[in-house]
Every structure is written in structure tokens, then in C-alpha cells.
Amino acid sequence: MLNHLLSEYQLGNTTLKNRVVMAPLTRSRAEGNVPNSLMTTYYANRATAGLIITEGTSPSFNGLGYPRIPGNFSTEQAEGWKKVTEAVHEDGGKIFLQLMHCGRVSHPDNLPAGGRVLAPSPVEMTETQMYVDGKGMLDIPVAQEMSIDDITFAVKEYATSAKLAIDAGFDGIELHAANGYLLEQFIHPKTNLRTDQFGGSVENRLRFIRNVTEATVAAIGADRVGMRISPYGYFNEMGEFDSVDETFTTLAEMMNEIGIAYLHLVDHEAMGAPAVPQSIKTQLRETFKRTIILSGGYTAQDADSDIGAGKGDLVAFGRPFIANPDLVERFREQAELNIPDQDTFYTPGPEGYITYPTLAETV
Ligand SMILES: Cc1cc2nc3c(=O)[nH]c(=O)nc-3n(C[C@H](O)[C@H](O)[C@H](O)COP(=O)(O)O)c2cc1C
């Protein structure tokens, strides 16, 4: 049973004890944007995953769109993360830091003094509001268009943050180029209306992500860099566009050339989004020569069978990991899973964060 899913895997220079990945999950417990002991406990409790990918973490003071999400651009933040990586490693796990610059999906009230809401172009978000502590849901003001200096600075921020991450003990980083955040805002023609070398053609729309990836790889090495993408994703007002297949296939070719360790594919159909065509997943699998991580609505059985069929090498589980710290053990035992409580996904404090029982605690 689950022979594929529970088998070892070599991801770049990181050996994973199984192919169960904990998907990146924003949990909004980082008061002051600094990782804390609650987070250390939460991640350490999930160290039986083959690989943990952390919640979206901002590489920049401009990139913290949501309340209480962690950053990784200051010494204090990196020191907080160091305690997390040490605890996960002590328990035999591996952990990548997801670098998420929110770009336009942000409210200025969630940024530190001097922080700016930035985007490739000033395109209004019309259907999305943002939560601000003490104020509730607020409309999102239109982001400022990034100057060439802003772009150059942001590229450096990613590379610096990646270096800080390795110094803090992470096994690698994942560039969050999915779900409508900054990197995808450059890729997508709806949010990128630029007429300079960063907008227009496929090549131009991919220039920012190329520069970010190359700078990050130069800082920490290609084996330690992965990337998450969401072609046909609708989250944060994105959606389909004319050249979507060509754009993402060209991106996969580019990432082959740069040599990053993995591509991680998002599919949010299980969360109510329109289906992602199997054709683009197949095309990306064929184009990208290194590791593919699949995700979205997976059960252990489906994951095992998709790995067996060669559709991907690893499978990431999101909501199941929220509610089941010992998810791998439960898979192995074919045990029932705890049900995640949506009301505590983003609330501060331990409730619904480190309070889900393990199998042993249930028995
Ligand atoms: C509470 C919550 C927070 C999430 N935060 C992130 C995030 O920070 N970065 C990211 O790439 N995806 C994020 N996602 C998406 C998940 O990684 C995953 O793609 C999604 O939950 C679908 O997988 P599942 O069906 O196994 O839950 C989040 C999902 C949930 C439910």
C-alpha cells in the first residue's frame, strides 16, 4: 500500500524520506511578522512529511500583504526561522521556505512604516478585500507601478532573503509564482500592462521572474530553488488568458535552462476554482526535466496512483496537514483524518493551530 508515496526521493541535493509534501499554508500566527515558538511547535509537529514547504513569507517589507504573515528580510525574522529549521531537522524533517511577495494583494495598513504596495501596473482589484487587524475587511487601494529601480531592488531582495534562509538552516526556498502574487502579476497580461522590457511579449512578461530566479540561484544554488505556479488559476482575480499555455511552457523551458530543482503545480478545483486542464499539467511534465510536485485535493490513494503513473514525483497536501500533524502516520495506518476547522485558519493563537490531536492522542 502507498508504495510510491511512502518511498524515499532525491530532490536536488536533499534526500526526502517520503514523497508527502506539506503544502505552503498561510496561518497568520507571526505577530509582528516574526516567526515565534508557536510556529516552531507547529512545524516540528509535522516533521514526518518528506518535505515541509512553509507558509508564504515575504522577502521584502513591501511584500507583506496580509496581517501576521512572516517575513524573512531582517535578522530578527531569520533568527526566528532558525529555531523552526533546527526543530524540524532535529525531528528528521526537511524544510523549504516559500518566498511570497504579495505585490498588489496587500493593504498599506498591513505594511511597516515606509512600505509600499507595488505591482507591475496600477490595475485595481475590484472583487477582493483585505483583512486588517482592528479594522476588518477593507477595499484594496490601487498599487503603485514599479519603476525600473523598484524592480532591480525587488530582485535583490529575493536573493538576499534566499541567502538569509540558507543561513537560517533551510534546505531551500520556493519562489511563489502562483495564486496572483507579485511574480504572477508580472507573468499575467491582465495585471502586467507595461510597455517596457518587462511587459508585452511572453519573453518580456517572464523577464522579472527570470531575473529573480537567476539572482536567487546565484545566491544559494539551483538545487535549493523550487518554484510554484498556477496556470489557469483564478485566485486573486487572475484567470485564463490567450497565451497561457505558451507562457507557462516557455517558463518551464526557462527553468530547465536555469536548472532549478522543481516546479510545483497548483490546482484549486477542490477549493471551488475552475478545473485546470490535464493538458497543461502533462505539457509541463514533459517540458520540465527535473522534479514535479503535484497538489490540490489529493487523497493518499490518488497521490500514490498519480506518482505511479508518472504524472509527478511528489504530492503536496494542504488542508489535510492543517488538521493532521501526523498525516504520514495516518496514511501509513490508513487511519481516519481530523477535519480542518476553517474558522481558525488565520486567527492568532494556538487554537486550531497546534490543538489537533495525533492518532496516539485520539486513541
Ligand atoms: C489556509 C490556507 C492557506 C494557504 N496559504 C498558501 C500559501 O501561503 N502559499 C501557497 O502557495 N498556497 C497556499 N494555499 C494553497 C495550498 O497550498 C494548497 O494549494 C491548497 O490548500 C489545495 O490543496 P489541498 O486540497 O490539499 O488543501 C493555502 C491554502 C489554505 C487552505
Among the listed residues 42, 43, 158, 181, the single catalytic one is: 181
Whether residue 363 is predicted with pLDDT greater than 80 in this model: the reply is no
CATH, residue 101 = 3.20.20.70
Pairing of strands 20-22, 314-317: parallel
Quote the cell numbers at residue 153: 531592488
pLDDT digits (tens, 9 = 90+) for 125-170: 999 999 999 999 999 999 999 999 999 999 999 999 999 999 999 9
Mean pLDDT of the chain: 97
Q: Is residue 324 part of a domain?
A: yes
Q: Which residues contact 342 (CB under 8 A, 6 or more apart)?
A: none
The pLDDT value recorded for residue 33 is: 98
Q: Which residues contact 213 (CB under 8 A, 6 or more apart)?
A: 175, 225, 227, 254, 255, 258, 260
Going by pLDDT thresholds of 50, 70 and 90, the confidence category of residue 336 is very high
Q: What percent of the chain has pLDDT over 70?
A: 100
For cell 536533499, the residue is 14
Q: Is residue 2 part of a domain?
A: no
Assess whether the C-beta atom of 179 lies below 6 angstroms from ligand 1. Answer: yes
Count of structural domains, the chain:
1
Please confirm, yes or no, whether 131 is among the known catalytic residues: no
Q: Is residue 169 part of a domain?
A: yes
The pLDDT value recorded for residue 140 is: 97
Q: Is residue 3 part of a domain?
A: no
Alpha carbon of 54 to those of 69, 94, 176, 342: distances in Å?
A: 11, 11, 11, 19
Half-sphere exposure of 31 (CA within 13 A, CB side): 7
The pLDDT value recorded for residue 66 is: 98
Mean pLDDT of 113-120: 96
Work out which ligand 1 atom sits closest to the CA atom of 228.
Answer: 11
Assess whether the C-beta atom of 315 lies below 6 angstroms from ligand 1. Answer: no
The pick from 5, 21, 26, 294 for probing ligand 1's pocket by mutation, whose C-beta has the most ligand atoms within 8 angstroms, reads 26
Q: Is residue 269 part of a domain?
A: yes
Q: How far apart are CA 118 and CA 223, in angstroms?
A: 29
What residue numbers bound the domain in which 312 lies? 9-362
Q: Is residue 235 part of a domain?
A: yes
DSSP state, residue 82: H
